[in-house]
Amino acid sequence: MPKLIKSINDAILVQPGEASKLAQRSTVADELFPEREAAEAETKENAKAIDGLQDALWAGRSRALLVILQGIDTSGKDGTVRAVFNRCGPLGVAVTAFGRPSEEELAHDFLWRIHMAAPKKGMIGVFNRSQYEDVLVVKVRGLAPADVVERRYEQINAFERHLTENGVTVLKFMLNISKDEQKERLQARLDDLAKNWKFNADDLEDRKLWSDYQKAYEVALDRCSTEHAPWRVVPSDRKWQRNAIISAVVRRTLEDMNPKYPKTDWKPSDFKIT
């Protein structure tokens, strides 16, 4: 495990202060996980370990873990939640999906709804999309003035620093798929009747803006990969590689947080149950 997690981090971490070079990053990870079967077994083992670690996290109730999943349409955010967190289950994990903001959300600053959904102590929170939408779709589609968007990178950094200084460990994953892979996945939503309901014509509009989104992601990765909350770019063309990578990082992060069952200030013999 220690050696593997170092290889994974070397491959996917965006070093704070360095350029992310998104375009040069691979969307497959054959060198990390060459074999599907082994990768799937590893994911299962990691999911089991995460479940055990979350139990201790809950018992201690002093810290929380926030897992941010960002990626373009079809990049696999929901599938990641299932593979990594179903073993843990809804008792220990709260998922929040951030879609188009409501009127009330827009009436507040852009981090208000994000802060409301921050995981409480003892929990793992998973964000399906996040505060980064406000420097991604908002930037690409021109939904806010450029100078407002420009200020958000540092505001996000300050907010994430606040969370980490208050016991919330923040993990940020960008699910990186190729343009060809997205085409296949969108096509599958058209070809498979059971997937038709997932197809959204708007996704094609976003696809036309592919390079604008890539540029916006690159700026977000460059400016918001910090020591306290670095970005990781996950090769995601192969779902089983993506799941193996993310589950390994989540597991290792929880192991490093080292949650402990609280010590009791009594002896079992103090009590007699009648």
How many other CB atoms are found less than 10 A from the CB of residue 183? 12
The CA-to-CA distance between both ends of the chain, in Å, stands at: 47
Minimum separation from the CB atom of position 32 to its own copies (A) = 25
Minimum separation from the CB atom of position 272 to its own copies (A) = 9
- Closer residue to its own copies in complex, CB, 69/138: 69
- Closer residue to its own copies in complex, CB, 36/183: 183
Minimum separation from the CB atom of position 85 to its own copies (A) = 6
Task: Report, in angstroms and rounded to the nearest whole number, the Rg of the chain calculated over CA atoms.
Answer: 20
- Closer residue to its own copies in complex, CB, 63/139: 63
Residues counted in the chain: 274
Closest CA to 169 of 245, 243, 109, 249: 249
| Amino acid at residue number 187 | Q
- Closer residue to its own copies in complex, CB, 121/198: 198
Minimum separation from the CB atom of position 208 to its own copies (A) = 9
- Closer residue to its own copies in complex, CB, 139/239: 239
Distances (CA, A) of 189 to 94, 184, 202: 27, 9, 13
Give the sign of the dihedral formed by CA 39, CA 45, CA 51, CA 53: negative
**Structure tokens, 47:** 């999911």
Minimum separation from the CB atom of position 59 to its own copies (A) = 5
Minimum separation from the CB atom of position 53 to its own copies (A) = 14
Closest CA to 30 of 7, 64, 2, 60: 7
- Closer residue to its own copies in complex, CB, 88/249: 88
- Closer residue to its own copies in complex, CB, 107/271: 271
Which parts of this chain interact with its own copies (CB under 8 A)? 59, 78, 81-82, 85-91, 93-95, 126, 183, 186-187, 190-191, 194, 196-199, 201, 204, 207, 261-262, 264, 266, 268, 271, 273-274
Contacts of residue 2, Cβ cutoff 8 Å, sequence gap at least 6 = none
Contact 38, 99 (CB under 8 A): no
Q: What is the DSSP string of 44-62?
A: HHHHHHHHHHHHHHHHH-S
Give the sign of the dihedral formed by CA 14, CA 15, CA 16, CA 17: negative
Minimum separation from the CB atom of position 191 to its own copies (A) = 7
